[in-house]
Amino acid sequence: MTLNNSTTPTSLITIFGATGDLAKRKLYPSLYHLFRKGKISKRFAVVGVARREWSNEEFQEHVKTSVHKALGSDENIDEFVSHFYYQPNDVSNSDSYKALKNLSDELDETYELEGNRVFYLAMAPEFFGTITEQLKNQGLTDTKGFQRLVIEKPFGHDLPSAEKLNSQIRESFSEDQIYRIDHYLGKEMVQNIEVIRFSNAMFEPLWNNRYISNIQVTSSEELGVEDRGRYYEKSGALRDMVQNHLLQMVALLAMEPPIKLTTDEIRSEKVRVLRSLRPFQQDEVKDYFVRGQYGPGKAGNEALPGYREAENVDDQSNTETYVAGKLMIDNFRWAGVPFYIRTGKRMETKSTKIVIQFKDIPMNLYYNPDKPLAPNLLVIHIQPEEGITLHLNVKKSGQNIETTPVKLNFANNSVDGMNTPEAYEKLLFDCLRGDATNFTHWDEVKLSWAFVDKISEVWEHTRDGEFPNYEAGSMGPKAADNLLAKDGFSWWPIANLDVDQC
Ligand code: NAP
């Protein structure tokens, strides 16, 4: 397929869950941005679906408010929202799809949409199977244009549930029509991993076990579980973050150069990384993974409650709010190089960073027992800062030959990152023009669940008597430091790695 980089083809976008939080905070501002930039075809229409009995006017008002709140500007907003229509519909009621089909066909004609349809499921996953079945059975997918399905996380709860969900969806949509969202893949600096690796002569030759000693991927949040206790109790950090976002970043860091930058080639290289993850036996989980749960703590003078005090959380909860792990990729390039990952809630700082630590040079001519030579680091700042930093050693000014570490910085002028419309904007644009590269293929989802299930099987059947084992506002449990210390490494302190603005 030839991709058009400037504007998207004409399309009807149907958003299920149109009155919800995701649509409000991410989807409407992202669509508006695309509209303002002229990136979306002028021939588009959006149908919002939810149970609430809203009129078109109420829906349009809601979209306006969402855009204004998210972006602070709303030039041409009336023209934008004139493309929005609302269809009250309980998705579990099969009769209600008739009205949706009529409206969709009508809009198809009015806006000359050529039968192109994107169905965005911004709803709880238990509805995915029913919706896709009804879309097919009631003829909503029976059009002459393209039909694409966008699905939010979580894609299943474990491998069996993901397989069940996938086979339900596949009854109505083929794999190449399914766009599984992992919003990390829409982030500027995550997309930059490939560019940094494959467009710089100085990195790719060093990107292997001869020159890299270890890689550290951290995604920490300052916020606690907030009002998502019910969801989080069943999910935990392993399913919420590791199965998708962290393993996706590891796959991008570790994959072989694809022969072409096409969706299939990139995805198949990522799949090969996931297939190379070293499997472990149940009794080895403790050697590779550490779990944590935050207790009460402090941020400055503010007292922070523990996880077990949050709403809808069991006061004896065994759910992890923190995971650290050591991944080994058993292939020729990475044999022997640990990839350490960690993620947690209520940590000291909000940050997603990747640290690539290079091996020490074979002979240190500047040996100083009081001041060891700092290793070279490449730091990729994903959020909230966006940029890269290269840590080098140079001569300290003065008469003696002494080394001093310096940082070479590149800082993207970025907006605050986590979940910003930026990622969704890119992903919506990609989906509308049929580029599935930055969405996860079923093979990736399947392998990630198979890996993560091994850990959750052990954790679910053993209580962690030490929970809570880290203070809110800290960088996690001590055991996570020991995981690296056993290998002679330590976590690079996140706060010291920040990009200095150029
Ligand atoms: P939400 O705020 O609870 O919204 C749920 C939506 O579904 C509402 O529009 C609700 O509207 C609609 N709905 C519920 N039952 C329905 C039914 N039977 N028929 C028709 N509509 C129904 O949830 P959300 O936070 O937007 O999340 C949506 C999905 O995105 C979830 O899968 C979530 O895991 C995922 N996600 C969300 C975020 C985020 O930032 N919010 C981030 C990543 C992933 P009515 O009550 O009017 O029916």
Ligand 1 atom at minimum distance from 23 CA: 26
212-258 pLDDT per residue, tens: 999 999 999 999 999 999 999 999 999 999 999 999 999 999 999 99
State yes or no: pLDDT of 74 exceeds 90. Answer: no
What is the pLDDT at residue 502?
36
What contacts 353, CB < 8 A, 6 or more positions away?
A: 217, 218, 379, 380, 381, 382, 494, 497
Compute the distance from residue 124 Cα to the ligand 1 centre, in Å.
6
Question: Could you tell me if residue 62 is inside a domain?
Answer: yes
Work out how many domains the chain is built from and give that number: 2
Question: Could you tell me if residue 179 is inside a domain?
Answer: no
What contacts 340, CB < 8 A, 6 or more positions away?
A: 214, 215, 216, 217, 324, 325, 326, 327, 483, 484, 489, 491
Contact assessment for residue 242 and residue 348, using Cβ atoms and an 8 Å cutoff: no
Cite the DSSP H helix spans in 5-127.
21-22, 28-36, 56-71, 77-81, 97-110
Q: Are 116 and 202 in the same domain?
A: no
What is the pLDDT at residue 218?
98
From the candidates 183, 245, 381, 441, which is the catalytic residue? Answer: 245
Three state DSSP letters for 231-262: HHHHHHHHHHHHHHHHHHHHHHHHCCCCCCCC
Q: Are 282 and 413 in the same domain?
A: yes
Q: Are 371 and 487 in the same domain?
A: yes
Question: Could you tell me if residue 453 is inside a domain?
Answer: yes
Ligand 1 atom at minimum distance from 18 CA: 9
Chosen domain end from 152, 167, 200: 152
**Does ligand 1 have an atom closer than 6 angstroms to the CB of 153?**
yes
What is the pLDDT at residue 5?
62
Q: Structural domain of residue 54, as residue ranges?
A: 11-152
Q: Whose CA is nearest to atom 39 of ligand 1?
A: 22
Contact assessment for residue 215 and residue 329, using Cβ atoms and an 8 Å cutoff: no
Chosen domain end from 133, 152, 171: 152
Is there a catalytic annotation at residue 245?
Answer: yes
Q: Whose CA is nearest to atom 42 of ligand 1?
A: 22
Contact assessment for residue 55 and residue 86, using Cβ atoms and an 8 Å cutoff: yes
Sign of the dihedral defined by the CA atoms of residues 180, 183, 185, 186, in that order: positive
Q: Whose CA is nearest to atom 12 of ligand 1?
A: 17
Q: Are 259 and 360 in the same domain?
A: yes
Place of tokens 């986590």: 418
Closest C-alpha to 444, from 264, 209, 321: 264
Compute the distance from residue 50 Cα to the ligand 1 centre, in Å.
9
Compute the distance from residue 429 Cα to the ligand 1 centre, in Å.
21
What is the pLDDT at residue 345?
98
Q: Whose CA is nearest to atom 30 of ligand 1?
A: 122
**Does ligand 1 have an atom closer than 6 angstroms to the CB of 431?**
no
In the three-class reduction of DSSP (H, G, I as helix; E, B as strand; rest coil), residue 399 is classed as coil
The gap between the terminal CA atoms of the chain, to the nearest Å, is 40
Q: What angle do CA 393, 399, 401 make, to 5 degrees?
A: 35
Question: Could you tell me if residue 45 is inside a domain?
Answer: yes
Ligand 1 atom at minimum distance from 419 CA: 40
Contact assessment for residue 153 and residue 122, using Cβ atoms and an 8 Å cutoff: no
Question: Could you tell me if residue 79 is inside a domain?
Answer: yes
171-224 pLDDT per residue, tens: 999 999 999 999 999 999 999 999 999 999 999 999 999 999 999 999 999 999
Compute the distance from residue 223 Cα to the ligand 1 centre, in Å.
21
Q: What angle do CA 243, 192, 421 make, to 5 degrees?
A: 70
**Does ligand 1 have an atom closer than 6 angstroms to the CB of 50?**
yes
Chosen domain end from 101, 127, 152: 152
**Does ligand 1 have an atom closer than 6 angstroms to the CB of 51?**
yes
State yes or no: pLDDT of 460 exceeds 60. Answer: yes
Q: Are 107 and 193 in the same domain?
A: no
Ligand 1 atom at minimum distance from 154 CA: 34
Q: Are 312 and 404 in the same domain?
A: yes
- State the average pLDDT over residues 308-337: 97
**Does ligand 1 have an atom closer than 6 angstroms to the CB of 58?**
no
Compute the distance from residue 37 Cα to the ligand 1 centre, in Å.
28
Contact assessment for residue 239 and residue 246, using Cβ atoms and an 8 Å cutoff: no
Question: Could you tell me if residue 160 is inside a domain?
Answer: no
* Separation of alpha carbons 44 and 80, rounded Å: 10
Contact assessment for residue 67 and residue 77, using Cβ atoms and an 8 Å cutoff: yes
Q: Are 281 and 368 in the same domain?
A: yes
**Does ligand 1 have an atom closer than 6 angstroms to the CB of 22?**
yes
What is the pLDDT at residue 465?
78
Compute the distance from residue 20 Cα to the ligand 1 centre, in Å.
5
State yes or no: pLDDT of 63 exceeds 90. Answer: yes
Query: What's the CATH code of the domain at 369?
Result: 3.30.360.10
What is the pLDDT at residue 495?
77
Q: pLDDT band at 364, cuts 50/70/90?
A: confident
Position 197, amino acid: R
Ligand 1 atom at minimum distance from 16 CA: 21
The pLDDT > 70 percentage for the chain reads 97
Give every strand in the sheet of 84-88, ordered side by side.
84-88, 44-50, 11-16, 117-121, 147-151, 178-180
Question: Could you tell me if residue 404 is inside a domain?
Answer: yes
* Separation of alpha carbons 430 and 446, rounded Å: 23
- Average pLDDT over the chain, rounded to whole? 94
- Taking CA atoms, 115 is separated from 86, 140, 178, in Å, by 19, 10, 17
Q: Are 334 and 474 in the same domain?
A: yes
Q: pLDDT band at 293, cuts 50/70/90?
A: very high
Q: Are 138 and 81 in the same domain?
A: yes
Position 391, amino acid: H
* Separation of alpha carbons 173 and 167, rounded Å: 10
State yes or no: pLDDT of 501 exceeds 50. Answer: no
Place of tokens 């809630």: 345
What contacts 261, CB < 8 A, 6 or more positions away?
A: 194, 437
In the three-class reduction of DSSP (H, G, I as helix; E, B as strand; rest coil), residue 37 is classed as coil
What contacts 294, CB < 8 A, 6 or more positions away?
A: 224, 306, 307, 321, 322, 344, 345, 346, 468, 470, 471, 472
**Does ligand 1 have an atom closer than 6 angstroms to the CB of 63?**
no
Closest C-alpha to 350, from 194, 140, 494, 230: 494
Q: Whose CA is nearest to atom 21 of ligand 1?
A: 50
Place of tokens 């979580």: 154
Q: pLDDT band at 4, cuts 50/70/90?
A: low
Position 19, amino acid: T
Q: pLDDT band at 498, cuts 50/70/90?
A: confident
Closest C-alpha to 459, from 346, 322, 343: 322
More confident residue, 5 or 382: 382
Question: Could you tell me if residue 159 is inside a domain?
Answer: no
Q: Are 361 and 479 in the same domain?
A: yes
| Ligand 1, pocket-test mutation among 22, 149, 418, 420, most atoms within 8 A of CB | 22
Closest C-alpha to 185, from 437, 405, 361: 437
**Does ligand 1 have an atom closer than 6 angstroms to the CB of 415?**
no
Q: pLDDT band at 398, cuts 50/70/90?
A: confident
Q: Are 391 and 462 in the same domain?
A: yes
| Ligand 1, pocket-test mutation among 51, 131, 157, most atoms within 8 A of CB | 51
Q: pLDDT band at 413, cuts 50/70/90?
A: low
437-459 pLDDT per residue, tens: 999 999 999 999 999 999 999 99
What is the pLDDT at residue 3?
53
Query: What's the CATH code of the domain at 140?
Result: 3.40.50.720
Compute the distance from residue 15 Cα to the ligand 1 centre, in Å.
10
Q: Are 138 and 191 in the same domain?
A: no
Name the pairing type of β-strands 470-471 and 294-295: parallel
Ligand 1 atom at minimum distance from 183 CA: 43
Compute the distance from residue 295 Cα to the ligand 1 centre, in Å.
29
**Does ligand 1 have an atom closer than 6 angstroms to the CB of 240?**
no
Q: pLDDT band at 417, cuts 50/70/90?
A: very low
